[in-house]
């Protein structure tokens, strides 16, 4: 082989090209300093500057001593760089762009351009940020002691709620109600909101804690507010399946006339019922002669002459006490009292049906001896003292001598 073939095998140019290159180098300006270099895909490639003293040597010596840059090294470096580019997925687009070839200003026209690549710092930073994001997507969850306790408490509450909802022991099977006279047992249960085989919670009013604890306190307040007959009520639960109810009722003692009809009152003047006029309905006893200004269900009646009302209540209380103390006969004077009227002069007039069914009007002077007067009057009715009277009449009890006159 001659020298030209060897040069071609090792990447060197032939003599003619070498000579041309040598002449161009002589014509070129001073070479760049060793610090000035170009990057090729991350590797530094610098031009080789021979010793200054050897510039005058003959061409053949330079041709044999000077070794041009091997292309195989650049190709191997480029292959390594390509393998690194495939490993970094996130920076593939940035590194896949073709490097622009910028010819050196100082190079000759026949000299090959030096490839320059963009720095990879931005791609590396993007890869690190992506890795950090991937790490944050897989956090480790650690439960503290409070977290474990909260989970156990929640599970216990769920189990308790399930048992309370579905166990038969929380279904109504028995109801014990005491103190009710005007209201029946079924009416009381309806007021509470319970029925047979209903859940004990169905009658509870209030928040979730009242329901879970079966606290009927708010239900009791609601019943007392809605039903004027119930003055007080106590509801308790006894497992299994038993409801105990204690009631204190208001008792209806009289009626008063209102512009629209009648109002039923208790001894304190609380309105228990409101009804319209009905000729087929018998209402007794009725307190007459009162000036009613307001009558609202569940509230105290407003009467201008309230003292007359109180005096009439005293008379009715004495009649009721006489009935309760009587041991002879079935006649009840309170049930047969039709009217009580208080006159401005202070006299009291009672209209009572006798055992024979006749109306008897009794005139009283005051309430000082009212209890004794009503006990004596009841004795007369039970002793059949009015059996021979066949007409309505009046009985004057204002003097020591009682006088009866027929109408």
| Residue 104, pLDDT score | 42
| Residue 346, pLDDT score | 87
- Report residues of the chain scoring pLDDT below 70: 1-125, 130-141, 143, 212, 387-388
| Residue 161, pLDDT score | 76
Closest CA to 125 of 133, 115, 137, 113: 133
- Domain-by-domain residue ranges, the chain? 3-25+38-97+111-130, 168-249, 254-406
| Residue 141, pLDDT score | 60
The pair of structure tokens assigned to 215 is 């606290």
Instruction: Quote the CA–CA distance of 405 and 361 in Å, as a whole number.
Output: 10
Closest CA to 296 of 267, 266, 263: 263
| Residue 44, pLDDT score | 46
Reported as a single tens digit per residue, the pLDDT across 301-327 is 999 888 999 999 999 999 999 999 887
Residue 68's φ and ψ, nearest 5 degrees, are -70, 165
| Residue 48, pLDDT score | 46
CATH fold for the domain made of 254-406: Rossmann fold (3.40.50)
| Residue 390, pLDDT score | 73
| From the candidate CATH numbers 3.90.1260.10, 3.20.20.70, 3.20.20.480, 3.10.20.310, the one assigned to the domain spanning 168-249 | 3.10.20.310
The pair of structure tokens assigned to 254 is 């009289």
Residue 284's φ and ψ, nearest 5 degrees, are -160, 150
| Residue 374, pLDDT score | 93
Reported as a single tens digit per residue, the pLDDT across 258-292 is 888 899 999 899 999 998 888 778 888 999 989 99
Task: Yes or no: say if 261 and 277 are a contact pair by the CB < 8 Å rule.
Answer: yes
pTM of the model: 0.57
Closest CA to 223 of 188, 194, 184, 195: 188
Distance between the two ends of the chain, CA-based, in angstroms? Answer: 171
Residues 263, 368, 352, CA angle at the centre, nearest 5°? 45
Name, in order, each residue with C-beta under 8 angstroms of 163's C-beta and a sequence gap of 6 or more: none
| Residue 387, pLDDT score | 67
């Amino acid at each position: 082989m001659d020298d030209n073939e060897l040069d071609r095998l090792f990447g060197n140019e032939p003599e003619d090209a070498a000579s041309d290159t040598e002449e161009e180098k002589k014509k070129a300006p001073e070479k760049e300093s060793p610090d000035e270099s170009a990057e090729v895909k991350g590797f530094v490639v610098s031009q080789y500057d021979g010793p200054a003293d050897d510039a005058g040597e003959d061409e053949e010596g330079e041709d044999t001593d000077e070794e041009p840059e091997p292309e195989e090294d650049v190709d191997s470096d480029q292959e390594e760089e390509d393998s690194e580019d495939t490993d970094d997925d996130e920076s593939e687009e940035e590194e896949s762009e073709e490097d622009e070839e910028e010819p050196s200003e100082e190079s000759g026209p026949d000299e090959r351009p030096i490839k320059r690549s963009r720095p990879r710092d931005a791609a590396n930073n993007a890869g690190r940020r992506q890795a950090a994001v991937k790490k944050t997507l897989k956090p480790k969850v650690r439960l503290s002691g409070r977290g474990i306790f909260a989970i156990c408490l929640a599970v216990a509450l769920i189990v308790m709620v399930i048992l309370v909802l579905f166990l038969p022991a929380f279904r109504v099977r028995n109801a014990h109600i005491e103190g009710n006279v005007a209201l029946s047992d079924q009416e009381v249960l309806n007021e509470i909101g319970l029925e047979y085989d209903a859940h004990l919670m169905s009658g509870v009013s209030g928040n979730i804690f009242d329901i879970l604890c079966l606290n009927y306190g708010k239900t009791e307040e609601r019943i007392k507010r809605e039903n004027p007959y119930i003055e007080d009520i106590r509801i308790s639960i006894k497992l299994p399946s038993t409801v105990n109810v204690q009631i204190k009722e208001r008792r209806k003692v009289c009626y008063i006339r209102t512009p629209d009809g009648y109002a039923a009152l208790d001894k304190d003047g609380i309105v228990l019922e409101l009804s319209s006029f009905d000729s087929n309905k018998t209402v007794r006893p009725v307190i007459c002669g009162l000036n009613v200004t307001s009558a609202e269900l569940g509230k105290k009646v407003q009467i201008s002459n309230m003292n007359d009302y109180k005096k009439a209540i005293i008379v009715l209380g004495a009649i009721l006490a006489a009935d309760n103390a009587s041991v002879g006969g079935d006649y009840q004077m309170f049930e047969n009292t039709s009217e009580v009227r208080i006159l401005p002069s202070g006299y009291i007039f009672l209209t009572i049906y006798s055992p024979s069914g006749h109306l008897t009007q009794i005139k009283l002077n005051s309430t000082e001896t009212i209890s004794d007067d009503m006990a004596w009057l009841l004795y007369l009715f039970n002793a059949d003292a009015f059996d021979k009277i066949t007409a309505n009449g009046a009985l004057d009890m204002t003097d020591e001598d009682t006088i009866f006159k027929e109408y």
